[in-house]
Structure 1
């Protein structure tokens, strides 16, 4: 038997207006928080109470047509591949933006072409696009977004990106901090883990470049070590590290480093006596594993600070710059 059709009547703004005793225009002004509308607080309260009583939800698409954009903040899907540190920070950013009236959407398009990606983001007519180091956020991509009505384009990059509000953060600094620490501890044959998972090369390649820069200056040797995030891959790499005669490994981040450290121990390689291991992100994991993991700590602006900047960019078109991201090594037992 086919289900009965849903006979519940659709609630419209006209129903809210009728219950509140106001015009439909007033309902629209109140529920869409139109800043130019002069409406008393008492009337606003009546409209909101009527909407809540009826269960009315404003039509997002209609509001977008009036405004020329939505209240969406798009985060390109690359943020989902960036590890626990950034995923936790993005969760905080989502909450902070939600408290300011925005809806955060993780966009799944992973086209490698910057213009194709920008057009996909622009189709949503977002108020803002926030990219956490996505290589596709080029000046040309920013131009497409701004021309489509996006008010705030935010990115993390080593240098300012034309047209975007750029939070300066150079991933080479992570490799520099880790490698300087290892060289200072007397390590000269250093492996650098290079995750093979998609979306991580934007972070692993600059970190490798930072490690090579320090090694060239300090007389150390760097060996890139491709690795998949799995027990089997870590076991194979642990064997390879011994065969190559490495005395240290920078493990890309804490998750890869902890996995490799455990694999080394399983094969009888003492950490740090034979091979020192350093991670990055300074997660709780680094303090839970044994030996406790030396890690490179990020100093990021607060999620609330960035949410405020996004809101000011959307509303006013400008925001004061935030402090640069910087890095420091936190020494523990693994090095």
Structure 2
């Protein structure tokens, strides 16, 4: 049998209450430093680890921050968002919280999904883009003891806090750059992968909004799967589309398409200007180097601080926090050749 708090109390010669105070961070002013050290040494020697489920029953919360990300969408998020999640988890540890990823099935209703989350008794839930969340599901979480519900990306459901990301701005910045360079026939990559419509459709809308202010400008959505075969097929019919520019959704799709265009004999940037988004390092190592929309996301430390504050102050009125901004990093892939 694994050691219990009773085992630790007996080994250290103290009460179970004292063990609970020490190992749950509640010993200040109650237990002397010498006794605290004795309890910690006993727990370490016996190999005792507090039982999260039991602690959850006592406190009503597990101390977990559940990061809800649809499992089938994670591979398509790209390095920008996977890097954010990793850094966010690290920042949460500084506040004594444990960030855990939880996949939400694409077929789940919001209520079904959050009931699975609520079983873990998370202190907070941050629903990333694509995770189901509505007013009823927010209420389920709060009634089960979740202190903070935060929606990251789209507008939050009623009752939840929101960290808004303006995806239309990303498309608008890319379009403004291409139009300023004299391009008038702009393709916009729309990935076919599940879940990315929450990104791609607002970005397409942003391109269209800017193009509408430029006489003679044309915007053509072009579907693309994240495969070499799909990119090659699109590149083979590129000339028939009559497009002299493309905003390729993000850097990964841009790099995939740019290579396929080059293989098909389409010159970049002579025949077509290419713009991505996320400003990944790899895009700067290509030839030609990749023009990209750089997106300034809220720093992970700032989001972790917000979540911690909402856990400690659960009565804080829901609000939308807007921090993302976008600007263009101009490189060779969108510059017209001299002469």
Q: How does 1:126-137 map to 2 (within 5 A)?
A: 126-134=122-130, 136-137=132-133
Q: Distance in 1 between matches of 2:160 and 2:30?
A: 34
Aligned to 1:107: 102
Aligned to 1:332: 331
**Secondary structure in 1 aligned to 2:271?**
coil
Q: How does 1:76-225 map to 2 (within 5 A)?
A: 76-78=68-70, 80=74, 81-112=76-107, 113-134=109-130, 136-157=132-153, 159=155, 161-219=157-215, 220-225=217-222
Please, which runs of 5 or more residues in structure 2 have no aligned partner? 335-339
Cα deviation for residue 15 of structure 1 reads 1.5
**Quick check: 1:128–1:153 contact (8 Å CA) kept in 2?**
yes
Cα deviation for residue 135 of structure 1 reads 6.0
**Quick check: 2:27–2:36 contact (8 Å CA) kept in 1?**
no
**Secondary structure in 2 aligned to 1:167?**
strand
Deviations 1:1-26 (A, max 9, x none): xxxxxxxx421111211222211111
Give the TM-score, by structure 2 length.
Answer: 0.90
Aligned to 2:295: 298
**Secondary structure in 1 aligned to 2:332?**
coil
Cα deviation for residue 160 of structure 1 reads 5.3
Give the TM-score, by structure 1 length.
Answer: 0.91
Deviations 1:197-238 (A, max 9, x none): 112111111111111111222232111111111111111111
RMSD of the TM alignment (CA)?
Answer: 2.0
Aligned to 2:244: 247
Please, which runs of 5 or more residues in structure 1 have no aligned partner? 1-8
Q: Distance in 1 between matches of 2:29 and 2:313?
A: 18
Q: Count how many residue pairs are aligned between Structure 1 and Structure 2.
A: 327
Q: Distance in 2 between matches of 1:19 and 1:239?
A: 74
Task: From 253, 256, 267, give the equivalent of 2:253.
Answer: 256
Q: Distance in 1 between matches of 2:187 and 2:97?
A: 43
